[in-house]
Amino acid sequence: MEKIKCDICIIGAGSGGLSVAAGASQMGADVVLIEGHKMGGDCLNYGCVPSKSLLAAAKQAYAMGHTGDLGVTAVEPQVDYAAAKDHVAKVIETIAPVDSQERFEGFGVRVIRDWARFTDEKTVVAGAHEITARRFVIATGSSPFVPPIDGIENVTHYTNENIFDLRERPEHLLIIGGGPIGMEMAQAHIRLGSKVTVIEGLKALGNDDRELAEVVIGSLQAEGVQIIEGQQARRISEADGRITVETEGGSFTGSHLLMAVGRKVNLDKLDLKAARVKHDRAVTVGDDLRSPTNSRVYAIGDAAGRMQFTHVAGYHAGVIVRSAVLGMTWAKARQDHIPWVTYTDPELAHVGMTEAQVRAKFGGQMKVVRFNYDENDRAIAEGKTKGFIKVLVANGKPKGVSIVGAHAGELIGMWAMAIANGQKMSAIANTVLPYPTLSEINKRAAGAYFSPQLFENASVKTIVQLVQKYMP
């Protein structure tokens, strides 16, 4: 067995692990990167990249048949489902070199393609290699969780890990789970010609502001997606090529089944007990992302048990580089400034605290301001007037922002920056934006916060009258 000593050993070549490896190696650290499956992890191969690629194909198909009042005649799109999957594969293939083993070996990283397990507090074995490191970074990500529903083991079912390999368009896709993955795949498939039924045990898009989530739910229903809420799947069966999901409220039959109920962190192969690393559903870490029971070990991204987003893993990587590479042990991860987006049409984006959280913390100091898409000139010009922004303000600063509408994921960036840097609403209001753009929605929302103070304040009117009377 080859024995290797290094500064930093990273387990997992997904978004977080790759970011740590790139930063640490280029700064001069001796880095070993271990990956037992595919370089690029879930995001490149099964998650963000393929799902957004399929959504892009579906959006194009929908646009051809729904041209609105723009003077262009709608046509029935001719959808080639297999060709849409070819587009997905091509996008993955185009991006893959950025995450490739060759690229990281070019940085000086030792890449080992095997599964890793700890043998003690400072040693990992991967295949024929024994690695001893000053620091370990667990970046193993997560996998789709398939609950033990009665009959599931006897039924052909898909998850995000294999749905993109399906070449034949589902006649009727049943989706168990109404979270972001389930809702995105529902809209993609309804637009590509499938019938779709979503079965959700609680509320669809339950982690988002309900008022805004209802706009997305209504849009999908208008396109033909059947959304069943508040019904847990009790039993699943398959007969004669048809799959039936039974709930306490009824039964639903389709041709294909997608499980999208949540995710589980990939820790099973690591033998964390041998490393004296405390964990439950994820690795137990503090805000420094460091194990309290083995200070050599860090965890990032999904493995750290926090928000499960690719950009969170990338953000955590920056914390790790500052701490483990540069010795800035005071570097900490926070969550109050992390945005997330569901890429349906309309998009649903959020950053910061929820309304309940802001109300609980600030009480009567909280103010809610809104601005509608149908009051924005660019949205009107493009016929994209469905949606609005909702900003939760306390002490003159945005504490939480939700946007539903076209390009909400792009618009949320301004608010993510403001919350991350503790900026006031005036920073948004004072920003000059090009006209006409959707980004003016942000500025108009900030203006709506100040409008009552300027236009409904008797003292302001008195001052203005005096100025006009006596100003030379």
Which residue, chain included where needed, has tokens 């996008």?
Answer: 91
Is residue 180 a known part of a binding site?
Answer: yes
130 is in an annotated binding site: no
Angle subtended at Cα 417 by Cα 41 and Cα 324, rounded to the nearest 5 degrees? 50
The whole-angstrom separation of Cα 465 and Cα 382 is 42
The reply, when asked if residue 366 is annotated as ligand binding, is: no
**Phi and psi based region of residue 389 (left: phi greater than 0; alpha: psi -120 to 50; beta: remaining):** beta
* 142 known ligand binder: yes
How do 129-138 and 297-299 pair as beta strands? parallel
The CA-atom distances, in angstroms, between 369 and each of 214, 278, 378, 401 are 19, 43, 21, 10
- What string of DSSP letters covers 60-88? HHHHHH--TTSS---------HHHHHHHH
Residue 65 assigned as binding residue:
no
The secondary structure of residue 358, as a DSSP letter, is H
Name every residue whose Cβ is closer than 8 Å to that of residue 41 and which is 6 or more positions away in sequence. 12, 13, 14, 15, 17, 18, 99, 141
Task: Find out whether 203 is annotated in a ligand binding site.
Answer: no
User: What distance in Å separates the CA atoms of residue 225 and residue 235, rounded to the nearest whole number?
Assistant: 22
Longest dimension (CA), the chain: 91
Does 200 carry a binding-site annotation? yes
Q: Is residue 140 annotated as involved in ligand binding?
A: yes
Q: Is 68 annotated as a binding residue?
A: no
Chain mean position to CA 382: 27
Residue 384 known to bind ligand? no
- The letter for the amino acid at 131 is I
Element housing 340 (H / E): strand 339-342
Annotated binding residue at 183? Answer: yes
Q: Give the C-alpha separation, 39 to 97, whole Å.
A: 9
Question: Annotation-wise, does 52 bind a ligand?
Answer: yes
Is residue 144 marked as binding?
A: no
Q: Residues within the annotated binding site for FAD?
A: 52, 140-142, 302
Q: Residues within the annotated binding site?
A: 52, 140-142, 177-184, 200, 262, 302
Q: Residues within the annotated binding site for NAD(+)?
A: 177-184, 200, 262
